[in-house]
Chains A and B, each alone.
Chain A
Amino acid sequence: MSLLEITGLKVGFDTEDGEVQAVRDISLTLERGEILALCGESGCGKSVTAMSIPRLLPPDTTRLSGSIRLDGRELTELPERELRAIRGKDVSVVFQEPMTSLNPSFTVGFQIAEVLRRHENLSRSAARTRAIELLELVGIPAPARRVKEYPHQLSGGMRQRVMIAIAVACSPRVLIADEPTTALDVTIQAGVLDVFRDLRDRLGTAIILITHDLGVVADIADRAVVMYAGRAVEEAPVTELYARPRHPYTAGLMRALPSAAVTLEDGRRRLSEIPGLVPPPYADPEECAFHPRCPRAQDDCTTRRPALDTYGTGHLAACFHPLSAAAPATGGGS
């Protein structure tokens, strides 16, 4: 049994313009100690998929169906009270915005200690001691001093490390990292990714990494799920995905990486892009959602939606006209 099994998850939101379909149908698994990347453009449903696990979505307007099982326990049917016992303990989250995700009015020590006192029943002083250890674990220098500081006294990279310290405080089984390095400088990104890798190796934490940055995926993830318009379009171990992308969308994303830029005649380099826009989230298309933007689209793509097919071990793609294994689309990434 996998650590986490998501089956047929659908998530919609009630809005004034009707129900918006953020996640249309997704199934995925996460193994113990695995780093799984969820990638895709903004609005493809990757964050909503991940936030459905601890159900950190607005309760009044969210329509959620399908199954989410953590160690065999069904989470979608749990009442709010029992979910609160899981949040921060079994499933924790590192958010994208380190500048605003910490409360400006409390010391970082308080904010780390809070989760320990909630779930581990630690005393005030024991929680404080543990908070210092955690700051050290995530690579913050002079932790005994930093623990008394407020978020505004720390740099963005440091704040994100504090967020990670909060998230791993209770040794969660699943850590969701939602674009954890997007708001950080490139030089700091690598350090934060090292922290994740280190935590997985030391604590065996399984990590769901949400990102649109395929460079980050190549750097740290074991396996990746590429999402488009609320569905998975391709899923494979990372080395396999980079060597032999099957879905034209995945190939397009890889061509958009700076390392895959084409050198022009005058010596300048040009990034390639995927033309067109993500389809609006209102209607659920009967056809392949990617076909209006797809260079390989044919007539059948406009009438039916392709299902996920297997292309070798653990490699799935949903396309009627996949790229062949012999012709890798890019030299970038792996």
Chain B
Amino acid sequence: MALFILRRLGAAAIVLFLGSVLVFLGVRALPGDPARVLGGEDATPSAIAAIRHDYGFDRPLPVQYAQWAGKAVTGDFGRSTQDKLPVGHILTERLPVTIELSLLAMLVAVAVGVTAGIVAATRRGRLADYVATGFGLVGLSVPHFWLGILGILLFSAKLHWLPASGYLPFTGDPVGNLERMLMPALVLGTGFAAVLMRQTRSAMLESLSADYVRTARSKGLPERSVVGVHALRNSLTTVVTVLGLQLGALISGAVVTEQIFVIPGFGKLTVDAVATRNYPVIQAVVLVTVAGYIGVNLLVDIAYALLNPRVRLTGVANG
């Protein structure tokens, strides 16, 4: 198992390196000049050249990359071109907000999606199945921004149950934090839950028709063991795969959701940084996203190995 994880880590390092190169070049391929944005409309050519020199934008790309990557490894992502704050500092402020939002959304999605998927599969062709698949279709089709606006109109403007927007740190005011996070998490989790529901349903339908489920019934096991132990265990690999794949969608969903609910998270940071050609921030944001992606995939691989003895054994075979 240790070797299995080690090998996955090695692969992750290579992907991270390639990712960082792509991020670096991609940002520089964006139209627009950061020095011109910083200098303002009236800046003289010499002033712009000075700004370029200050930030190192006048040096050859490989040199720029080496300098940036060398520092990034130590956690120093440079300073924001907008407010001159260290990018690392901005990240530590914004990242936990988005992580909290994503985790809450994931929690909502898993609780609702997996449960609904199991119920739909076990009641195939009956009312509960139609209701679940119907809501699944709606959940997939409805865009985040529309759902968010609708939620604000209903729960904040009309019913006054929840605040419409804003953010409070969890450590300062846990209740206020959750009050403000609940609606964004529900909005962000809806599409995710719908995808999970559909995947869980089809995986469970397949498992439930397997020979080993018939064996489980022939043992006289109650339905909750037949469904909850024998069928579910073999459907979980699908669920975990979808969880990993959907995390990307969750991040892009967070961009929109954070805009609607005015949450100072990663998504909002990204949008603002791209708008102002804030190279250091964009680079850091994308790199951290890539790293997060790789980390989640690593976790998915490990979860596979834990769930599926066949994967685990081939992973261990050489170690």
| Chain A interface residues (CB < 8 Å from chain B) | 54, 56, 83-89, 92-93, 95, 97, 100-106, 114-115, 118-119, 150, 152-153, 163, 166
In whole angstroms, what is the CA distance A150 to B217 when docked? 20
Instruction: Pick the residue among B211, B212, B221, B234 that contacts A84 (CB under 8 A).
Output: B221
Cβ-based interface call for B60 (8 A) = no
Instruction: Pick the residue among B220, B233, B313 that contacts A103 (CB under 8 A).
Output: B233
Cβ-based interface call for B210 (8 A) = yes
Cβ-based interface call for B309 (8 A) = yes
Instruction: Pick the residue among A56, A83, A84 that contacts B214 (CB under 8 A).
Output: A56
Contacts of A114 in B (CB 8 A): 219, 221, 225
Q: List 17 A-B contacts (CB under 8 A).
A: A54-B218, A86-B220, A87-B218, A88-B219, A88-B221, A93-B215, A93-B218, A95-B218, A97-B211, A100-B211, A101-B212, A101-B214, A102-B212, A103-B212, A103-B233, A105-B234, A153-B313
Shortest Cβ distance from B185 into chain A, in angstroms? 31
Cβ-based interface call for B44 (8 A) = no
| Chain B interface residues (CB < 8 Å from chain A) | 210-212, 214-222, 225, 230, 233-234, 307-310, 313
Instruction: Pick the residue among B214, B221, B222 that contacts A95 (CB under 8 A).
Output: B214
By the criterion CB–CB under 8 Å, are B220 and A88 in contact? yes
By the criterion CB–CB under 8 Å, are B215 and A95 in contact? yes
By the criterion CB–CB under 8 Å, are A85 and B220 in contact? yes
Q: How many A-B residue pairs have CB under 8 A?
A: 74
In whole angstroms, what is the CA distance A86 to B221 when docked? 10
Shortest Cβ distance from A100 into chain B, in angstroms? 4
A84-B220, A84-B221, A86-B220 known; A104 vs B215 contact (CB < 8 Å): no
By the criterion CB–CB under 8 Å, are A101 and B211 in contact? yes
Shortest Cβ distance from A44 into chain B, in angstroms? 21
By the criterion CB–CB under 8 Å, are A163 and B215 in contact? yes
By the criterion CB–CB under 8 Å, are B215 and A87 in contact? no
By the criterion CB–CB under 8 Å, are B216 and A103 in contact? yes
By the criterion CB–CB under 8 Å, are A88 and B309 in contact? no
Contacts of B214 in A (CB 8 A): 56, 95, 101
By the criterion CB–CB under 8 Å, are A104 and B310 in contact? yes
Contacts of A102 in B (CB 8 A): 212, 215
A84-B220, A85-B220 known; A150 vs B212 contact (CB < 8 Å): no
In whole angstroms, what is the CA distance A243 to B308 when docked? 53
In whole angstroms, what is the CA distance A5 to B96 when docked? 69
Contacts of B212 in A (CB 8 A): 100-104
A84-B222, A97-B211 known; A104 vs B309 contact (CB < 8 Å): yes
Known: A88-B218, A93-B215, A104-B309. 13 other contacts (CB 8 A): A86-B220, A87-B218, A88-B220, A95-B215, A97-B211, A103-B233, A104-B212, A105-B309, A114-B219, A114-B221, A152-B310, A153-B313, A166-B215
In whole angstroms, what is the CA distance A84 to B234 when docked? 23
By the criterion CB–CB under 8 Å, are A105 and B218 in contact? no
Contacts of B309 in A (CB 8 A): 104-105, 150, 152
With CB as the reference atom, state the residue of chain B lying closest to A102. B212
Contacts of A105 in B (CB 8 A): 233-234, 307-309
Contacts of B216 in A (CB 8 A): 103
In whole angstroms, what is the CA distance A135 to B300 when docked? 35
